[in-house]
């Protein structure tokens, strides 16, 4: 898979996406009133134009990928499954956990945990600095947004901050 040309992958992906838009997504997700005065004013006119443009560009990209071999360094496809992919999966886990923990622990403590998890994924050698920043940064931001900017930062169900 990684041997394939990036342009070809992009072209095929964009073309398929455009077809899906035209065939399924736009008819399902764009509500068109029964009486539209001019077709160019219809809510689905603009998305359809863009979908056709994407289809055209996708086909162009596919043809470019088939008939033009990129020079060294660009010919390889996206190596999404290389050595760092586990760490990238870990980042996905941190993002998901961070989002889900905000309503439970509150933004401050979710941030402390997310910072720590990310520093661990990055295998930081500066553990003390990371620990200090992990605790202080969310607290300082909480103080700024809550007490200066007047933004109610979400509090958790367990520990509430003043």
Partner 1 sequence: MTMMDNAAAALSLVAQWGSLLALLVGVAVGVVAGAIPGMSATMAVALALPFTFALEPIYGILLLLGVYKGGIFGGSIPAILIKTPGTAASSATVLDGYPLAEQGKSGQALQMALYASCIADLISNLALILFAAWLASFALKFGPPEFFTLILFSLSIIAGVSGGSLVKGLIAGAFGLLLATVGLDLVYGTDRFIFGHPDMMGGLNFIAVLIGLFALPEIIAFAMNGKDEREGGVRALGDHKLPFSEVRRCMKTIIRGGVIGSVLGAIPGIGAAPSAFLSYSEARRTSPNKENFGKGELEGVAAAEAGNNGVCGATLIPLLALGIPGDVITAIIIGAFMVHGLQPGPMMFATNGDMIYALFMGLILSSIFLFFIGGASIRLFRFIADIPKSVLLPGVLVLCVYGVYAVNNSVFDILVMFAMGWVGYLMMRLHIPAAPFLIAFILGPLLEDNFRQAMLMGQGDFAILFRSPITWVFWALTVFTLTVLIRNGLRDRKAQQGRLAVANKD
Residues 65-94 contacting partner 1, CB under 8 A: 68-72, 74, 78, 80, 82-85, 87-88, 90-92, 94
What distance in Å separates the CA atoms of residue 14 and residue 50, rounded to the nearest whole number? 12
**What is the pattern of x (binds partner 1, CB under 8 A) and - over residues 140-159?**
-x--xx--xxxxxxx-----
Is position 122 an interface residue for partner 1 (rule: CB under 8 A)?
Answer: yes
Residue 38 contacts partner 1 per CB under 8 A: yes
Taking CA atoms, 139 is separated from 88, 110, 124, in Å, by: 27, 11, 21
Candidates 29, 66, 104, 159: give the one binding partner 1 (CB under 8 A).
29
Q: How far apart are CA 43 and CA 37, in angstroms?
A: 11
CA-based radius of gyration for the chain: 24
Q: Which residues pair with 106 in a beta bridge?
A: 155
Q: How far is the CB of 159 from partner 1 (least distance, A)?
A: 17
Q: State yes or no: residue 134 binds partner 1 (CB under 8 A).
A: yes
Would you say 123 or 160 has its CB closer to partner 1? 123
Residue ranges in 47-66 that form contacts with partner 1 under rule CB under 8 A:
47, 50-51, 53-54, 57-58, 60-61, 64
Q: Is 20 in the site for partner 1 (CB under 8 A)?
A: no
Q: Are 65 and 8 in contact (CB under 8 A)?
A: yes
What is the DSSP secondary structure assignment for residue 38, as one 8-state letter? S
d(CA 70, CA 125) in angstroms, rounded, equals 39
Report, in Å, the least distance between residue 67 CB and partner 1.
Answer: 10
Q: How far is the CB of 157 from partner 1 (least distance, A)?
A: 14
């Amino acid at each position: 898979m990684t041997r394939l040309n990036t342009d070809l992958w992009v072209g095929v992906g964009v073309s398929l996406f455009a077809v899906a838009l035209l065939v399924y997504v736009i008819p399902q997700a764009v509500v068109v009133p029964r009486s539209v005065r001019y077709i160019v004013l219809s809510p689905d006119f603009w998305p359809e134009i863009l979908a056709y443009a994407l289809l055209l560009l996708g086909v162009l990209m596919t043809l470019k990928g088939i008939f033009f071999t990129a020079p060294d360094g660009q010919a390889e496809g996206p190596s999404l499954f290389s050595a760092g992919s586990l760490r990238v999966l870990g980042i996905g886990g941190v993002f998901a956990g961070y989002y889900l923990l905000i309503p439970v622990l509150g933004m401050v403590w979710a941030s402390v945990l997310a910072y720590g998890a990310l520093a661990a994924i990055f295998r930081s050698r500066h553990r003390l600095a990371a620990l200090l920043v992990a605790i202080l940064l969310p607290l300082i931001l909480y103080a700024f947004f809550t007490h200066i900017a007047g933004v109610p930062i979400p509090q958790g169900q367990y520990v509430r901050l003043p």
